[in-house]
Structure 1
Amino acid sequence: MRKEYKLSLIIFISIFIFDQFVKYAFVNFSWEVDGPYMSLKLAYNYGVAFSMFAFLQEYLKYIQLVIALVATIYLVKNKEIFYKYFIPISILYAAGLSNILDRFTYGAVVDYFYWHYGFEFAIFNIADVMINLAVAIIIIMQILEAREEKKKKSKS
């Protein structure tokens, strides 16, 4: 097994299990805490980001599974993309599939971080943060690659 696959699996399992553990704890052990800037408060998101598409609540888990399956097929057919971006892809899959599992387990995504200092922000979870981190890593990698290509072109 290639080292990328091994590391990818370790990243995936670590993030997935940690995220599910924290969500389970919020649902079952009432970890709620009120703070002056941010609170930990259990909430269920029946939609996607900022509760958009909540009207699709019953179908979102299946729609998201199909998207994950299509993405997996794409990565299997384009292995060079996986090898290039395996770290953010592993993070993205772990977080995304953890949120999908919530939909099957709890009927919605379990959220608990609630920012309320200066303005009220959407309630979110660790998986949401990981999804944003993965996307940011991909964007940074793309920017660095574009700069490197520009340097090579300017030298020739």
Structure 2
Amino acid sequence: MKKELKIAITIFIVVFIIDQVVKFGFANLSWDVDGPYMSLKLAYNYGVAFSMFSFLEHNLKYIQLVIILIATLYLFKNKNVFKEYYIAIALLYAGGLSNILDRFTYGGVVDYFYWHHWFEFAIFNIADVMIDLAVVIIIFKQIKQSREEKKQNEIKS
């Protein structure tokens, strides 16, 4: 468990710092760049994915902190879940807490990747990508585990 915790903390720190440094650059140093397929443009998201729940703008950061607290308590009680998903959890926490810090620091989440070739897509940031990556890892591990259990049940039958 100590090894997994060290790796998770390292991943968390690296992702969190990189995300915050990049966001600082866009929010304070005008790093905007226009490109033919994708642009880097500062935008603030006052909601969650695709600006949903933006009407909760001022309370959202507190709601999200409560969710993080509940998730942390769950992980303390279910250490086996942490051991199985520590990389995904580190990515989720880094991305989630970085976006929450944005809400306290800038009033909204700092977004800057803007895809606009063939179709327009939501503006997002590194933290969002890490959260998505964590979800993909969790789904992949769940599918793999389900297939292994199914194979074990077939062997027993």
- TM-score band, normalised by the shorter chain? over 0.9
Letter in 2 for 1:76: F
Where 1:127 maps in the other structure, the secondary structure is helix
Secondary structure of the 1:58 match is coil
Q: Which amino acid aligns with 1:4?
A: E
Q: 1:117: Cα distance to partner?
A: 0.6
Cα displacement (A) at 1:28: 1.1
Indicate the residue corresponding to 1:19 in structure 2. Answer: 19
After TM superposition, give the deviation of residue 42 of structure 1 in Å: 0.2
Partner of 1:149: 149
Quote the residue 1:96 is aligned against: 96
Tell me the CA shift for residue 48 of structure 1.
0.5
Q: Partner of 1:67 in structure 2?
A: 67
The structural deviation recorded for 1:76 is: 0.3
What residue number does 1:115 align with? 115
Shift of 1:155: 1.0
Stretches (4+) displaced over 3 A: none
Query: RMSD value over aligned CA atoms?
Result: 0.7
Percent pairwise identity: 70
TM-score normalised by structure 2 residue count: 0.98
Unaligned residue ranges in structure 2 (runs of 5+): none
CA distance in 2, matches of 1:154, 1:77: 32
Q: Structure 2 counterpart of 1:128, which letter?
A: D
TM-score, with structure 1 as normaliser: 0.98
Deviation sequence 1:98-148 (CA, Å, 0-9, x none) = 000000000000000001111111100000010000000000000000001
How far apart, CA to CA, are the structure 1 residues paired with 2:27 and 2:89?
A: 28
Shift of 1:19: 0.3
Number of equivalences: 156
Unaligned runs of 5+ in 1: none
What's the counterpart of residue 56 of structure 1?
A: 56
Structure 2 equivalent of residue 138 of structure 1: 138
Q: CA deviation at 1:154?
A: 0.8
Q: Distance in 2 between matches of 1:59 and 1:2?
A: 36
